[in-house]
A and B are shown apart, each in its own frame.
Chain A
Amino acid sequence: MDIEIKDLHEKKISDILDRGIKWNLPLLEKNASVQSVLSILTARDHIWVVEEKKSKKVVGVITEYDILRLLAPARLPKYVFGKKYGVSIEYGTAKKAEDVMCKQVIKCSPDEKIGDVLSRMVNAGLRRLPVIENDEIVGEITAHYIIQILLGKR
């Protein structure tokens, strides 16, 4: 291994963050149609939903798993509360990116330690976090990316 994992934990996100990726993030405005969500997901496995493309303020995230649930035949849980259970592609209620995204996004910032961010990902059961600086998405930290760093492939 090119980097000791303990050293990696002590580093900051900004040390490893590839700012060039900013131009290649899977971003979509919240008003975008479900069709455009699906077409991005043919190539990517997640989408950061932003308020609008210019401001890059993240308001939600859509993952493959969210969509998987919408692709399968609609099924309600045993006890239903809240409107979100009515959202479905089958019944035409999933229209916009906003309808299908997870609204509460767990984030990280460039000045946090990688170790802390990794524990957060483990605790929350997430494999990718957006890196947010001044209310704007500047990159993303994914499990893949951390492995690449660890093996010196980046």
Chain B
Amino acid sequence: MMFDLKLLLIELGVALILARLFGYALEKVKQPAVIGEILAGIVVGPFVIGSISGYNFISPSIREGIESISYIGIIILLFLSGIDTGIDELKKASKSGIITSLFDVSVAFLFGYIVGTILQYPFIYRIAIGNIFSATSVGITVRTLMDINALHTNVGNLILTVAVLDDILGIIILSVTLGTGSPEILLIKVTIFFIIFLALLFIFYKMRKLNFRAQIPRFVLTSAIAFCFIFSFLAMSLGLAAITGSFFAGLLLSVFPQRRRISTFVREIGEVFFIPLFFVWVGSSFDFSALKGVGYLILYFIPMALLGKIVGCSLGAKINGFKNRDALAVGIGMMPRMEVALVVVTTEISMKIFPTKLAHQMLASTILLVIISSLITPFALKSVYKPSQ
């Protein structure tokens, strides 16, 4: 089919402005902008604008273009996550944070695996669900903690540390469990990837000491983006997900003094163009007809996703000497899922792990999980936790 540039341009234009407006509207009612962007996607998708005009954001003639932009959006999003997380911050993470995070991710993953087992899915689906369950969104967590003025408390501090560590643990689990090829070969490939990562980290630390200066204008920013793409390519060549590559590329570049400039620049292009289009694309792929057969999946999927975090984090916090109520607050504070969960599910879908119908259902369930978790977390946290001051 002919690629329709004209249609693509108008769709991009409409989608961008709607995403911005919807995002802003949601922020006004204290919900994350991402949900607004997903709603904008539903509007420009096949069920609203599509059903009126016949042309929609994922019309066959522009689908490839939209998908490519969205994948770039995902890669940029994870790159940003890596560079904002930062190696130096990871090194400074408290012991209690690391322990809680290990509990959190493993229990959440296990709960996902259990959902798959209850529904009698094959092994690979169970792992895929586990991966979706592992991520947490710091954004909503921070916002909620601000709401109840608990950002500076022990609970707040632990939640923040764990939420940040979650991303990296989640990504590591994702690369180990979802790589292609037989387990032995995969293990070798993952090892190669991390050896390359550590070698580069070592070299970059040395370079930082050398105070290397590029004479080519804008070299830092261009090479940062290029490095992100090349590293994602490397990850893919080794059978890992592209997002693993871009996340670790971000972590690597975080050691340079130009970090803040790179992060600001990437955030600009990401926030304005690529990332909203990814969420719009997610929204437009939300298939209402998938909701019909989705009953059992959602019935287990959402409660287990929420419970997994509560159990895992509360256990971890409890072991670190938190009181029952505070430990529970940590667990509840970790419930929200957002960007990374959506990125993981779309990555899994793009890796063709699920058959088409189940893929639609998985995406729909994750979108609902995102919305429900960010709606209930503030209420739940406020009712459980009252900072003593």
Contact = CB atoms under 8 A, between A and B. Distances in A.
A77 B267 contact: yes
Count class of interface residues, chain A: 20 to 34
Contact of B339 (A79, A93, A123): A79
A70 to B, nearest CB: 13
B378 interface: no
Interface of A: 74, 76-86, 88, 91-93, 95, 102-107, 109, 116, 120, 123-125
A81 B80 contact: yes
Interface string B209-228: 00101000110100000000
Contacts of A82: 81, 84-86, 89, 138, 164
SS class, residues of chain A in contact with chain B = loop
Count class of interface residues, chain B: 35 or more
Contacts of B161: 83
B257 A88 contact: no
B249 interface: no
B362 interface: no
9 contacts: A79-B267, A79-B339, A81-B138, A85-B138, A86-B138, A91-B145, A106-B257, A106-B258, A124-B258
B213 A120 contact: yes
Interface in B324-346: 339
A126 B23 CA distance: 33
7 cross-chain pairs, A with B, having the tightest CB-CB distances, nearest first: A82-B84, A80-B139, A92-B152, A81-B81, A81-B84, A104-B257, A91-B151
B275 interface: yes
A50 B137 CA distance: 33
Contacts of B259: 104
Interface in B67-114: 77, 80-81, 84-86, 88-89
Contacts of B156: 86, 93
B256 A104 contact: yes
Contacts of A109: 211
Given A78-B33, A79-B339, A86-B160, A104 B258 contact: yes
B170 interface: no
Contacts of A124: 258, 261
A109 B164 CA distance: 36
Given A79-B275, A116-B213, A105 B257 contact: yes
Nearest to B152: A92
Contacts of B261: 124-125
